A and B are shown apart, each in its own frame.
Chain A
Amino acid sequence: MRIVVLVKPVPDTASGGERLRPNDWRLDRPAVPAVVNANDEYALEAALKLTEAHGGEVVLLSMAGANAPETMRKALAMGAASGTLITDDQLGGSDTVSTTRVLAAALRDLEYDLVLAGADTSDGGAGVVPAGVAALVGLPYLSYAAKIEPDPASGTVRVHRISPTGYEVLEAPMPALIVATQALGEPRYPSLKGIMAARSKSLDTKSLADVAVGDPAVGGAVATSAVLGAEAPPPRAATRVVRGPADEAAREVVAFLTERRII
């Protein structure tokens, strides 16, 4: 099996240093160390487990800034065989429409049985790109997977899709695009061997001209939305600290909730 995993380098949330550029309110990516988007790591982990069980290999696909290879090497160190990075100055400030179209165009140049994507990214948080990519490529779309069961013999895949009441079992022919969730299992840590091996793995960098996106144009200049401004949200009121015996504390909490008309 050959599985493409869509990955995005995002600012490390734990750094606490994320900021917008003051002139155009775009994300200031160089200001913060980048990591592989956490939800994409679940997709990658699921893909690695599938190829371990069924054979084959995992390849990465990313549209990101020029410094993305550093972050993509972390994903290669987890066990992906190779990667493709679409990077181009024209793509800086791209919206989800452009991102969707570029990734869909890049996928048309790749061979695969499955495409796995994370549910959303920690920077943009949109969660709309995977569905759009599936629609543009014409792939069956299976979202919010808690379990992925391919049957290479019949060329189909079954997915347990998390639903409000439990799960639905979806079935589709491969190739298909699946949105992974954390329910698929904890991502592995790269081994030292994996980190060493990642250094020599192939990372194919392409510019926008190498990808047949077609009309209309894509990129930051034609973004469908614009940030007008940003401000810190109003601070929450000072925290009330309660200490003392449990039953007294409990009565104080009940009084507090009553006063705020919550109960």
Chain B
Amino acid sequence: MAGGSGAIWVHGELAPDGSLAKISTEVATLARQLGEAGGRDVVGVVVAADSGAAATELARFVPRVLTVTEPATADHAAGTIVAQRLAAMIEDQQPAYLLAGAGPEGRDVAGVVSALTGWGVLVNAIGVTWDDGPVVSMSVFGGKLTTSSRLTSDHGIVTVRPNVVTAEPAAAPGSAEVVATAGELRLPKVPIVDRVEAAALAAPIEEARIIVAGGRGVGGPDGFKVVEELAAALGGAVGATRAAVDSGWIPYAQQIGQTGKIVKPALYLALGISGAIQHKVGMQTAGTIVAVNRDPDAPIAEFADLVVIGDLFEVAPALLAALRARAG
């Protein structure tokens, strides 16, 4: 069979510039590891109006990439369209598993593929091993527990959080081939009638290696200047708590926590953040957590690796100076 019955498929997600999204390089690396462990073929699938660049990039990570040219994704909301093509290909070629990123696009795609195929979904994996099928670790209840789950049949979907694995290209690049599409897109297509770029484009936080985040203690939009300067000095992205976002100090796209994004950077530098559970659930799996807070009894002082007890408006500029001095 063309796609390999029993194979592990990887949804190749596109970044806004048409290149392969970073999350897909990580998911593809994970799929390759699982394929080696389980003796399964690993196949990447890219469905896009112009999939060339992403398919070539994905083929650096997996032996084989199937490319579907789907013009409708250029000017329509892509998730439902991509998912319909994937669902039809799954029915045709009978792979066993589909791996996707756990971000907004991956969730839209996984939701529609699951509904159309009846496949189950294990979501937000923070680790995946192989034991006659994927065994998926998830963090639940604000990180109090790590559960281990598996699919009850020999097929299904797994969505994977960013920064769970380090992307590593395969020893030898794979091949990319264009496959024909068959069938109508039955579900309503939703046109994109306009695209608006954010005024000052903030670095995306989901995939950032370093995040400098501000909370209520930052005090206002002006307070975020030092957060932004520190992020720039560290080459990181700016994050925030719900309190800071609700106060209008920083856009919602930067919010970390229960009603925002879940992040797993190598370093999380928290300025004026108390570390309430609703925020903690979004960042507690960071590699290293450093906090600056005036209150030694703030919850974050219990789970940070290092906490500076002090005024962030004194400590942050000093830290900026120290980083700049170090950079020479």
A interface residues, Cβ below 8 angstroms from B: 11, 13-14, 16, 18-20, 25, 38-39, 42, 95-97, 100-101, 104, 119-120, 122-136, 138-144, 146, 158, 160-173, 176, 181-183, 186, 216, 223-233, 236-237, 239-244, 246-247, 249-254, 256-258, 260, 262-263
Contact = CB atoms under 8 A, between A and B. Distances in A.
Contact of B148 (A95, A183, A228, A244): A228
Looking at chain B's contact residues, is the secondary structure mostly helix, strand, loop, or mixed?
mixed
B142 A13 contact: yes
B309 A242 contact: yes
A231 B310 CA distance: 35
5 contacts: A100-B114, A169-B192, A169-B196, A233-B139, A243-B308
Interface residues of B, number: 98
B288 A128 contact: no
Given A131-B108, A224-B120, A260-B287, 16 more contacts: A16-B277, A128-B111, A131-B111, A135-B111, A141-B77, A142-B190, A163-B16, A169-B193, A170-B77, A170-B192, A227-B148, A241-B309, A246-B314, A254-B319, A257-B267, A262-B267
Contacts of B322: 247, 250-251, 253-254
B328 interface: no
B121 interface: yes
Contact of B290 (A142, A256, A258): A256
Interface string B241-264: 010011000011101001110000
B314 A263 contact: no
Given A100-B114, A164-B16, A242-B307, A225 B150 contact: yes
B39 interface: no
B149 A227 contact: yes
B323 to A, nearest CB: 6
Nearest to B233: A263
Given A127-B107, A225-B151, A140 B310 contact: no
B309 A182 contact: no
Contacts of A258: 326
Contacts of A160: 196
A19 B140 CA distance: 9
A164 B149 contact: no
B164 interface: no
Given A170-B191, A171-B191, A182-B245, A128 B114 contact: yes
A143 B110 contact: no
Given A139-B188, A171-B193, A166 B198 contact: yes
B149 A239 contact: no
